[in-house]
Amino acid sequence: MMAPTAPGTATGTAAVRVTRSRRSALWGLIGAAVVVILLATLPYVVYADVTDLLVNAFILLVLASMWNLLAGYCGLISVGQQAYVGVGAYTVLLSAQNGINPYLAIPFAVLVAAAIAVPVSFLVFRLRAEYFAIGTWVVAEVFFLVLIRFRSLGGGTGTALPGLALIDPTFREALTYWSALAVAAAALLATYLLLSSRMGLDLTAIRDNEVAARSAGVRVMWAQRVVYVVSAAGCGAGGALLIISQLNVLASAIFSVGWSAKMIFVALIGGVGSIEGPIAGTAIFTVIQQTLAEFGAWYLILLGSLAVVVAMFLPKGIWGLISGRLQWQVFPVGYWLHKS
Amino acid sequence: MNWVNAIVQGILLGGLYALFACGLSLLFGVVRVVNLAHGDFAVLAAYLALVVITTTHVPALLTFIIVAPLFAIFGYGVQRLIIQRSLEVSPLTTLLVTFGLSVVIQNVLLVTASADSHSFDLGSLISASLRVTPELSIGYVPLMIFLTAVVVLIGLQLFLSRTAMGRAIRAAADDQEAASIAGVNTRHVFGIAAAIAFATVALAGLALGSSSSFDPNAGPARLIFAFEAVIIGGVGSLWGTLVGGIILGVAQAVGAQIDPSGGVLAGHLVFLAVLALRPQGLIRARLAI
Amino acid sequence: MLEVRNLTVRHGYLQALTEVSLTVAPGETLAIIGANGAGKSTLLRSITGLHQASAGSIRLGGRDITALPTHARVREGIVLVPEGRRLFPSLSVEENLLVGQSSGRSGSWNLPAVYQLFSWMGDRRREPAVHLSGGEQQAVAIGRALMANPQVLLLDELSLGLAPTMVRRIYSVLPGLVGRGMAVLLVEQDVAQALRIADRFQCLLEGRTTLEGKPADATTEKIEAAYFGLTGRAGPGSAA
């Protein structure tokens, strides 16, 4: 008597254990905490030009991480996050002009940027992914053109940030440094928490295959909207830090698409789609900037060409290269399977 | 002030925007790529024309005979060597690559041509105009640009609907796999589509140089206007780019009448309104392109 | 004249075809049957070049075409009528047919010949292809393939989504084509229909050939066994 045999049946099933992180990842997190503490002591140890450099690096890290959230986890390329950089800066300016301490205005800038991002998201999400990029750019241009009409905010010629004149310059620089460090650490932590949450799983699914994710019940539009707002909030924080560290703001500079260029470059070189990528990218970019910025346009030609080459041939960036080889993850957001 | 004049200028300006927009729309409709360096390529064409004018003394208005075909060949190369490869990495890589190209082009122009702005020397043609009524005069140059846009659009329409290559392009745009099964060399066909798109970009750049001044950083603004014209007119419609261009031009002109510095903003606001209220644009697409 | 030898094709981690071989001679009709997921469509698509072979070769008239891209294989004379028709939505019926000439092959098939084969098509040639019914679209898809003057015509699941009478009408066209020297390789879910029109058949299961021969020699038991993978060996839980 013939019995049907299902072809290809395994002779037994292997038991499998699922864990959130490996030991190497735990050490990575501890290491990160130690690094933050060490960094916090720097103002006592080094001169202001080093901490200034780091402030700019931290701001860039925040911006690039926020861009990376949108691009790497939602597949949405934005060329208009500078809109929220500007919003953050001008919120701090307005607050300072009304007597609020600029440092205390930073969280406020974050909230305002997020609040504005919500209605804007309804507009820009009407565009398909490819046109979304330019749409965000138009929004940034609109913010710029509207803001320069307000003389009280400096109009087109810029204005200084009040409220910090009475603080001792050295102390002010240290305060700015600590604020930047705090914001950067908070941004990375928030990203890590978001991505290791249920939403993070949804986002990874969307990143890997949007159609499949949708049919599995993932609320794609909602997830994308959340990420857009979070990304805007982070950029708002970056803008707040910018005006505080520069002590003035110029509309054409703060709303410049050059910020998007920097974000994109850093995220691309470091590696889109991982938390560690922007950290690597910021480090590399800062080095390049320090050594080559004096060459003006040539330096930008180099950056642009590098971006093109990396996008085409090294899509996972430098961090992708490293983590692929060594199976490293500082921020464990995936799952590991162990045979038991 | 003179509203009729403003509206007419706006309509003519729409022709320039349509010239910019049709290349963007064609490349997206066929290859599914949004070229963020679109405006910068147009500016590059304008600079190339300047070089042609100064070395060969060809009159400015005839430089397109040299520049457009050159740009078509250039576009074919860019498509097959850069864009095609980027598409294979991921569909959105093209955005990053073209953004990088935009930065490179702007700065290469800065380095080779300086930051000064230029425009073509058209002699007396620049200010010559047609006096229609005592209050309304139409400049010859804007009128020629508008007519060029119409001719280009008609030409594109005819090419796509009447020729074998046009059919192959539409087929590949509809269904790339089915087209290759039917014997269409889709990579080559995409290259041709890009070549045509780049030829229109060259014409747009020449029109820009003829009607106003340009500098190495003029590209991004042109990209944004082209994009707004496409969205207002309706993604996927060739004639929509003309309709969208005209609406944008009129919005900017009327806005400038109300407030001299408010023209561009007025255009943006109309664009956002269309995006909010009728995101599919004004003309419904019948073709895939 | 079409010779496939030990073709192995992988889809990511899945091995879709394992060492499949077949030949089709001019004027011959070979039917590939098998359950869903057996690899029938993958086989046709690999022959046209839509999937890369990881091993094995494909020869047409003795010439190795394994490395050629799809449009080049069309130029050699291998033309697929894909599953689901895949007509071009923004093109009219006639335009769809004309795209079929893209490979530049010459032969007896042209617009008048196709309009003669499907007598209703000429009157509707300016309509958008997607306005036609399923059966009519299938005819246009076949016409589009014929316009390339194929040496080997590949048909993928012609009967899918069509009423039985329509299926019979479509298949009635085949003998005329084959009579002119074309080789036909068809994939068909409907086993009875396949065996009715084929000179030879081949059954696939999980990417491998499990049975081949002439329809006259095939018994129901042999086909069922090959189709479903029934074996004579006692498996777990069998009473024998």
Residue C152 β-bridge partners? C78, C183
Nearest CA in chain B to C104: B183
The three-state secondary structure class of A153 is helix
pLDDT at C42 over 50: yes
pLDDT recorded at residue A182: 92
**Chain C residues within 8 A (CB-CB) of chain A?**
205-206, 228-235, 237-240
**Tokens standing for residue B26:** 């064609």
> Would you state the torsion angle of the CA atoms of residues B238, B240, B241, B242, taken in this order, to the nearest 10 degrees?
110
Within 8 A of A292 by CB-CB distance, chain B residues are none
What are the beta bridge partners of residue A159?
A249
* Residue B227, both tokens: 């994009």
Query: How far away is chain A from the Cα of B236, in angstroms, using its nearest Cα?
Result: 12
**B146 vs C148: CA distance, rounded Å:** 42
Helix or strand holding residue A87 (H, E): helix A82-97
Distances (CA, A) of A83 to A113, A179, A235: 9, 22, 9
Q: What is the mean pLDDT of residues C175-187?
A: 86
Q: Residue with structure tokens 């046209």?
A: C48
Q: Residue B288: its pLDDT value, please?
A: 44
Whole-number Å distance between alpha carbons of A252 and A273: 30
- Which of A257-261, A307-311, B261-265, C205-209 bottoms out in mean pLDDT, i.e. has the lowest? C205-209
pLDDT tens readout for residues C131-147:
998 889 999 999 999 99
CB contact under 8 A, C234 and A3: yes
The closest alpha carbon to A227, from A239, A238, A219, belongs to A219
E strand intervals along chain A: 16-19, 159-160, 248-249, 336-339
Q: Tokens 């009327």 — which residue?
A: B254
Q: What is the mean pLDDT of chain C?
A: 87
The alpha-carbon radius of gyration of chain B (Å, integer) is: 19
CA nearest B53: which of B105, B145, B123, B109? B123
- What is the rounded distance in angstroms from the CA atom of residue B206 to the CA atom of residue B193? 20
Percentage with pLDDT > 90 across chain B: 69
Q: Looking at the predicted structure, is the pLDDT value of residue C234 above 70?
A: no
The SS3 assignment for A11 reads coil
Q: Global pTM?
A: 0.88
Tokens 């043609």 locate to B125
- The helix or strand, by DSSP H or E, that contains position C208, with its residue range, turns out to be strand C208-213
Confidence of residue B4 (pLDDT cuts 50, 70, 90): confident
Burial class of residue A189 in the structure, from the number of CB atoms within 10 Å of its CB (0-12 exposed, 13-18 middle, 19+ buried): middle
Q: Chains near B, with 3+ CB pairs < 8 A? A: A, C
Contact in structure between A318 and A280 (CB atoms under 8 Å): yes
- Answer whether B170 sits within 8 Å of C48, measured CB to CB: no
**CA-based nearest distance B153→chain C, Å:** 18
The candidate with the shortest Cα–Cα distance to C172, out of C215, C142, C203, is C142
Token pair belonging to C197: 């029109």
In this prediction, residue A334 carries a pLDDT of: 60
Which of B157, B181, B186 is the best mutation test for C, with the most CBs of C within 10 A?
B181
Q: Is the pLDDT of residue B102 over 60?
A: yes
Shortest Cα–Cα distance, A2 to chain C (Å): 5
Of C206, C232, C237, the CB nearest to A2: C232
Q: Using alpha carbons only, give the angle B142, B145, B151 rounded to the nearest 5 degrees.
A: 145
CB atoms under 10 Å from CB of A220, counted, come to 16
d(CA A117, CA A224): 12
Q: Is the pLDDT of residue B251 over 70?
A: yes
> Which residue pairs from C218-225 have beta carbons closer than 8 angstroms and sit at least 24 positions apart in sequence?
C223/C33, C223/C191
The candidate with the shortest Cα–Cα distance to A282, out of A297, A268, A298, A301, is: A268
Confidence band, pLDDT 50/70/90 cuts, at residue B285: low
- Comparing CB atoms, the residue among B168, B183, B287 nearest residue C74 is B183
Mean pLDDT of chain B: 90
Q: What angle do CA A4, A6, A9 make, to 5 degrees?
A: 140
* pLDDT score of A157: 85
pLDDT at position A325, please? Answer: 72
Contact C90 B287 (CB under 8 A): yes
In DSSP terms, C23 is beta-bridged to C3
User: Residue B38: what pLDDT?
Assistant: 96
Residue of A nearest to B274 (CA): A123
The stretch C9-19 carries a mean pLDDT of: 85
Which pLDDT score, from 0 to 100, does residue A93 have? 93
Task: Indicate the pairing of strand A248-249 with strand A159-160.
Answer: antiparallel
- Tokens representing B107? 């700065």
Q: How far apart are CA C224 and CA B101, in angstroms?
A: 60
Exposed (0-12), middle (13-18) or buried (19+): which is A18, by Cβ within 10 Å?
Answer: exposed
User: Does residue B162 sit at the C interface (CB-CB below 8 Å)?
Assistant: no
Residue A64 backbone zone (phi > 0: left; psi -120 to 50: alpha; other: beta): alpha
Which residues make Cβ contacts (< 8 Å) with residue A216, sequence separation at least 6?
A: A205
CB contacts of C38 in chain A (<8 Å) are none
pLDDT at C69: 94
Question: Cβ–Cβ contacts within 10 Å for residue A151, how many?
Answer: 10
Report which DSSP code applies to B80.
I
DSSP single-letter state for residue B83? I
Q: At residue C191, does pLDDT exceed 50?
A: yes
The two structure tokens encoding residue C150: 């194929």
Q: What whole-number distance in Å separates Cα of residue A56 and Cα of residue A67?
A: 16
CA distance B168 to chain C (A): 6
Residues of B in contact with C93 (CB under 8 A): none
Residue C62 has a CB neighbour count (10 Å cut-off) of 7
End-to-end CA distance of chain B: 40
pLDDT at C210: 85
Report the pLDDT value the prediction gives residue A171, as an integer from 0 to 100: 86
Q: What is the mean pLDDT of residues C47-60?
A: 91
Q: CA B208, CA B203: separation in Å to the nearest integer? A: 9
Q: Where are the alpha helices (DSSP H) in chain B?
A: 3-31, 38-56, 64-77, 84-89, 93-113, 140-162, 164-174, 176-181, 186-211, 219-233, 238-258, 263-277
- What is chain A's pLDDT, residue by residue, as a tens digit (340 residues)? 444 444 444 444 556 667 665 566 677 778 888 888 888 888 788 887 888 899 999 999 999 999 998 988 888 899 999 999 999 999 999 999 998 888 999 999 999 999 999 999 999 998 888 889 999 999 999 999 999 988 888 888 888 888 887 888 888 888 899 999 999 999 998 888 888 788 877 887 877 777 777 777 778 888 889 999 999 999 999 999 999 999 989 999 999 999 999 999 999 998 888 888 899 999 999 998 888 878 878 888 998 999 999 999 988 888 777 777 766 666 666 666 666 5
Q: Are strands C208-213 and C200-205 parallel, antiparallel or unpaired?
A: antiparallel
Highest mean pLDDT among A160-164, B151-155, C54-58: B151-155
Which range among A204-213, A224-233, C186-195, C215-224 has the greatest average pLDDT?
Answer: A224-233
Instruction: Establish if B167 touches chain C: CB-CB under 8 angstroms.
Output: yes
Contacting residues for A325 by C-beta, under 8 A, at least 6 apart: none
Q: What is the pLDDT of residue C238?
A: 43
Asked if the C-beta of B181 comes within 8 angstroms of chain C's C-beta atoms, the answer is yes
**Shortest CA gap B115–chain A (Å):** 11
Buried b (16+ CB within 10 A) or exposed e, B149-185: beebbeebeeebeeeebbbbbbbbbbbbebbbbbbbb
Of B85, B90, B231, the CB nearest to A131: B231
Tokens for C190? 């409907």
Q: Using an 8 Å Cβ cutoff, are B248 and B232 in contact?
A: yes
CB B208 within 8 A of CB B16: yes
Dump pLDDT digits (tens) for B212-242: 889 999 999 999 999 999 999 988 888 899 9
Alpha helices in chain C (DSSP H): 40-48, 70-76, 93-99, 111-117, 134-146, 164-172, 174-179, 191-197, 220-228
Residue B42 has pLDDT above 50, yes or no: yes
Cα–chain center distance at A279: 10
What is the identity of the amino acid at C33?
Answer: I
Task: Quote the pLDDT of residue A11.
Answer: 47
Residue with the bigger pLDDT between C31 and C164: it is C31
pLDDT of residue A22: 57
